[in-house]
Amino acid sequence: MNSDEFVTLLAKAEQGNDEAMFNVALAYQRGDGVDQDPHQLYLWMRRAAEAGMPNAMFNLTLMYYKGLGTKQDIGRFIEWTKKAASAGIPNAMYNLAMAYDKGTGVDPDPARFFLWIEKAANAGSANAMFNLGTAYEFGKGVYPDAAQSFFWIKKAADAGAVKAYFKLAKAYYTGYGTEEDVDHYFLWIKRAAEAGIAAAMFNLALAYLEGDGTSEDMPLYMEWIKRAAAAGHPKASLALAYAEQESVEDVETHLDKLRASAEEGNAEAMYELAIAYDKGKGCEADVSLFFEWMNRAAEAGYAEARVALGYQSAKSQQNQSELTPEPEPEPEPEPEPEPEPEPEPEPEP
């Protein structure tokens, strides 16, 4: 709008028109017909909220939460979130539920968390559907119920909640709350992987390796194991190192991948790196680095490393550096039930 149109809108707002109040606030937010002014945005949004506009109530909650145009005030954030939730705003219901879950401005209350997360889910919030599914899974504010957990996780996934894709895939794989279905497992693990979830990329790679819900496809296995490794999945980094050892002549690349995985804390990679330094695979043999990485693997709880250290100690008097135990050439980890972190109580826009 131009400045004249803003003046007309402002006059209507000053006469008490709640919709005009709301639009004046938005104009100050966007710089539409007037200079941007966070404080005026806050003042007019508060007037619209006090006049009973549910959307204004919700926007006001975000201002108190973030300190936008006013001082941050978690107490008023809760006050207006309750009003917006009672006025039927799904995102406000969700935020109120998460406040009761995390204790943001209120005492933690699992029963009230469940009450509001259920209302938000029934009102159409995809994030709430996901959290309701996890509530039924872990018994948060309600008795555990696998069937209800599956029902709400599927609704969340169908509604586009990306974090629900991976959990739904795992439900189909394990038969949690539904029948095992490898075809649906593959469908949802692929969607989760394409959405950028590293654990899903890793499990999609395994699906192509094992033919779970699809045909075996080594090129696609390599594509997704590389993507999972690039996304920071530690087991993918190790699996990629094994694959490169088997299929790539550049052993230095293999060693670099192995070292990166070991430095990320992967105990099996520490063990394999120690073996490489012991035998001089892709590097010069180095007894001190062998012991450094083998000890780190043992300290990380890797049983084979403890056995190897004991064996090496017994043979040290004969100045033999080679270890008899050889590592398995290729790990085949099962799709892992890695829990997805629950959303932080950040208000939704």
Q: Which whole-number Å values give the CA distances from 347 to 71, 77, 104, 144, 344, in the listed order?
A: 17, 10, 11, 27, 9
Q: Do domains 88-160 and 239-318 have the same CATH topology?
A: yes
pLDDT at 154 over 70: yes
Angle at 211 between CA 219 and CA 205, to 5 degrees: 50
Q: How far apart are CA 251 and CA 91, in angstroms?
A: 53
pLDDT at 340 over 70: no
% residues pLDDT > 70 (the chain): 85
pLDDT level of residue 190 (50, 70, 90 thresholds) = very high
pLDDT mean over 80-84: 96
Kindly write down the DSSP assignment for every residue of 109-163, as one continuous string: -HHHHHHHHHHHHHTT-HHHHHHHHHHHHHTSSS---HHHHHHHHHHHHHTT-HH
pLDDT level of residue 237 (50, 70, 90 thresholds) = confident
Q: Higher model confidence: residue 168 or residue 287? A: 168
Q: What is the pLDDT, as a whole number, of residue 279?
A: 72
Q: What is the pLDDT, as a whole number, of residue 75?
A: 95
- Rounded (to 5) percent helix, strand, coil in the chain: 70, 0, 30
Q: What is the pLDDT, as a whole number, of residue 338?
A: 34
- CATH code linked to domain 1-87: 1.25.40.10
Q: Which CATH superfamily is domain 88-160 in?
A: Tetratricopeptide repeat domain (1.25.40.10)
pLDDT at 84 over 70: yes
* Domain ranges, ordered by start, for the chain: 1-87, 88-160, 173-232, 239-318
pLDDT at 326 over 90: no
pLDDT mean over 92-99: 96
Q: What is the pLDDT, as a whole number, of residue 60?
A: 95
pLDDT at 341 over 70: no
**260-282 tens-digit pLDDT:** 888 888 888 888 888 888 877 76
For domain 239-318, the CATH class is: mainly alpha
pLDDT at 306 over 90: no
pLDDT mean over 322-344: 33
pLDDT mean over 73-91: 95
